[in-house]
Amino acid sequence: MDTILDEAWELSRVVALRPEPFGALAYHFDNRRLIFLKRPELVEVVRGLGAAPDVRTALTRAGVPAGQWAAYARALRGLADADVIRHRETPGEAR
């Protein structure tokens, strides 16, 4: 299983999400990229990342079945590569 599930992430500060019927559009203000989040469930996970101690908790809170976590982990890795989400340090984590 992908280690991203045990990591703390959050929406990048330079990204805005605009709700759409299919999910959301993520606009990155620094690089002007527009990224489509094509599932409302993925949008809920992304929005919940900052309040969750890890991705696993965000997925659980969003009601994503455990059998789909690997697919969501891949999607979140892609969003991280695009700087839509960023790694968040947790209390006690080395700087």
- pLDDT at residue 4 in the model: 94
Mean pLDDT on 31-54: 96
pLDDT for the residue numbered 31: 92
Tell me whether residue 45 is in a domain: yes
Structural domain of 28: 3-84
Asked if the structure places residue 94 within a domain, the reply is no
At residue 24, does pLDDT exceed 70? yes
Q: Band of the pLDDT at 89, cuts 50, 70, 90?
A: confident
Q: Is residue 75 part of a domain?
A: yes
Q: Per-residue confidence at 95, pLDDT binned at 50, 70, 90? A: very low
Domain count, the chain: 1
State the CATH number of the domain containing residue 17.
3.90.930
What CA–CA distances, in Å, run from 29 to 15, 21, 59, 79?
6, 22, 26, 15
Position 93 in a domain = no
Average pLDDT, the chain: 92
